[in-house]
A and B are shown apart, each in its own frame.
Chain A
Amino acid sequence: MFPRPIEKATPPARALYKIALPIALIIWLLPLLAVALTSLRSQADILNGNYWGWPTSFNMLENYTAIFENTPIGQYIFNSFRVTIPTVIGAVALSCMTGFALAVYKFKGNLLLFFLFVAGNFVPFQILMVPVRDFTVNLGIYNTISGLALFHIAFQTGFCTLFMRNFIKALPFELIEAARVEGVSEIRIFWYVVLPLMKPAIAALSVLIFTFIWNDYFWATVLTQGADTQPITAGLKSLNGQWLSSWHLISAGSILAAMPPVIMFFLMQRHFIAGLTLGAVK
């Protein structure tokens, strides 16, 4: 293990490490902690400039009720779910199939197609922006949830295919060969042999894509406008303009926007990290 395990260090060093850990964490998360605390502050505190001291009163209920009552934040959050969930399902489903095809079959242009998915996944969004917006307008789904979700599904398929293909490639190929010898059809091999083994990959991708899409801001501003369709990221930006210096409300909104991916991360931590660090170890 590197660095040398702290248990083997001298007692003072060990004690120092144990003190340093929480201090480092508090400094690291200070901006976030301050926001969490500010979301509980009263209007009076904000007016008096009490941003960093202890709140004079805790107004959690008032502040959070206020943003739900006075702003469409509930609708924004609902929209985020309506975009994110179909995207997760769609992109994961499509990439299970593309990944399977690229990992299992040898055909001409296999690697080329694979590289197409990989390269597409890295291009700057701006090169897609004008045509995708135009295309979405022409389909009549500009400023709709489906318009945004369809694009996300298509774009995320690139990254998901990279992930799935490499995952299936690492599975023991003998399983598929054995099934073929038994006369099992290719579709049944996909469904009954490979898919059950892909559960960890599906879990990892689901949490990752959930987080990516939930946090997407760029496409939300390009393909939607107004509270009926905009997800929370874009919504927060427009609320920020309206609220001006009502930092307690902005903070409460930020905390709400951050919640779902944070909860998702804590629930599925192992899968999340497995997905994110794919390829970090040989």
Chain B
Amino acid sequence: MSEHFTGRREDRRLITGTGRYTADWNEPGQLYAVFLRSDRAHAKILSIDTQAAQAMPGVRAVMTSADADIAAMKNPPSNVTWEGRGGTKMNQPDRPVMARGKVLHVGEPVAMVVADSVAAAQDATEAIVVDYEDLKAVIDLADALAPGAPQLHDTVPGNLPFDYEWGDEAKVTEIFSKAAHVVSLSHEDQRLVGNPMEPKAFLAVYDATKDVYDVWSSTQGMTMMKGSLAATTGVPPQKFRVHTQDVGGGFGIRSNAYPEYCVVVAAAKRTGKPVKWVATRTECFVSDWHGRDFSMKGELAFDAGGKILAARYDWIAAMGAYCSPTGPNVHTLTPATTSVGTYAMPAVYGRIRCALTNTTSITAYRGAGRPDIAYMLERLVDEAALKLKIDPIELRKKNFISKEAFPYTTPNKVTYDSGDYAGMLDDVIKVSDWNSFEARRAESKARGKLRGRGLAVFVEPSGGGRGPDANQAMIKFGSSGNIDLFSISGPSGQGHETVFPEIVGRELGIDPSLITARIGDPDGPPLTGLGTIGSRSMIHHGSASMIAAREVIKKGMDLAAKDLEVATQDLEYAGGSYRVKGTDRSISLVNLAKKLGGTAGVHPLDASGGMAHTSAFPSGAHVAEVEIDPATGVTEVLKYYAVDDCGNIVNHTLLEGQMHGGIMQGAGQVFGEHGMYDRETGQLLTGSFMDYYMPKAGLIRDIYLGDHPSPSPTNPMGVKGAGEAGTTGALPTLMNAIHDALRPAGVPHLDMPATPSRVWEALRAARKAA
């Protein structure tokens, strides 16, 4: 914790119950929307009878795909514009905002009722009669790609919308055929439900006189929300005024508008009244876009001395029944980006087939491809150390990209910015007392417990999201010298309101409390760029804020020179003041701003900053020790050590918060989270917090965090991002530890999640086999 941390600016309202999340906003005369959703995985819709529902008390509208305003909505084109295997193209299936002719997964919206109260709308949805003809569903990834599988979309043969490959297949095949050692591994990377604590919600108000929509929603960024609402509804983006004050978690699943939001937009126009929709948690489980869900195979080729010669991957990535705007992109390109990990190998090849199944769409979820590739590669390296009989530390060190090699370009043409993998590994080995582990293992054994130790060293791309426009921030001065910082980041707990003013304050040499961050303000200047995704906010929005501050100082030079009646070149800026060099004559920035005043909302010191899209490469070396009780299969995490390179650190306490949360979300996947569908019926088996495991207090009690920063040269702040590193490290680290604990008991392999029952079953099977 930072020495002087006394709390964030956001905190006061959030701890006193005066924060405002989407469901907390109300507009006079508002109506309430409730969706009727498919209760089956795959079926033809023969008819939808809404007559009885229309006639119920308080009902204002019943909407389905048959309505002209709904039918006119369009699925935005895919952002996957690059080629796949053999020059093939992305073949995105069409997605209606409500089911059209067919339902393709449990939870797909079929109709929406708008009524005077939630209860009246709920009652009316129950009066809608849908006549279905069931079709065979396909859930399993390999099943979906097999010949003869039920086809979800006529336009997407084989349920294969995209077949992505990267690297040099011929070269890698050649290397593997001659390698001294080949290590291979297959495992599952199960589907997760993001579960931000705030259920998704949307409120839309249409002003017919201005032809403008005011909308409230939980979003990871106003420009992304506007853009995706516009792309689907056909309403120009500038006609949406997006309001957010507090967002109850994002984690990647709130980058785009959900189809339901677009239907609510249409309802606000059609009824002429504000329309509010708040999802139940059950609805979130079946209709929030899910995360992960890969079936993975990976191989490493080694020479006789333990040098890695090449890596090869063959994965299937679930897309769900439709492609989300982000899923096909982040589950192909992102894992490919760091597919050589921290290792200097001469070649890599990978293929990821995207598969459509009768399930909820997949999108980015904390890490979004990063934990997935790190999990595969670092499990492979541990297995290789065993097979090659080389110490896992030595094997990694033998193959690391050296500190001197940066900027380093990988065989698949990705340039890593900076890093010190061997240095981080040394740090974590030391703090975790790695070398005296066997004594601790023996001590656990004496108590009848299985102790294991796991290590992972990983690198990940941060900065997510591309676009032609710079990410902008703007500083505006008020007549009393007060400063507003406008940003379009989309925070959901990261603390931007606190930390962005700290950045500007530091740059201007003034007290940050004089600066108010106005983030996602619909009345702010029209800024370009993306929101908060892919560990990018500090790189882009932080840097933009810093650049804007530098611009203010530059602009003020001439104005201060005029005020002090000297030449500009005689001035210097330091400690918040312009000073005539070598004298005590000066004027503070704040006083200069007050003197200059401003008219019509414009102040001469107002300035903006733009940060072009870029990437950095955070990395980390993590170690975990676990202890398994073979009698119950319960795993306890005894200690977790994380040494990370997040680049320069702006606010250490907030960084710690990101790491804690990220590591725990990784631990959630390792120990229990599983979005599980029934393979035959396509029903979601884990559709509530009663069935879906969520990490609880105490899952990990003790996390050590160490810093090993290599500042990034890709942005003026030298930052790298910290939102996803914890999760990326936690999957391989904890699973390597679990395997280390189980191996002596005869268990060679375990898939996530390592639930007590799975661990217990694996131990029992090993005993039987012995």
Whether A and B are associated in the same complex: the answer reads no
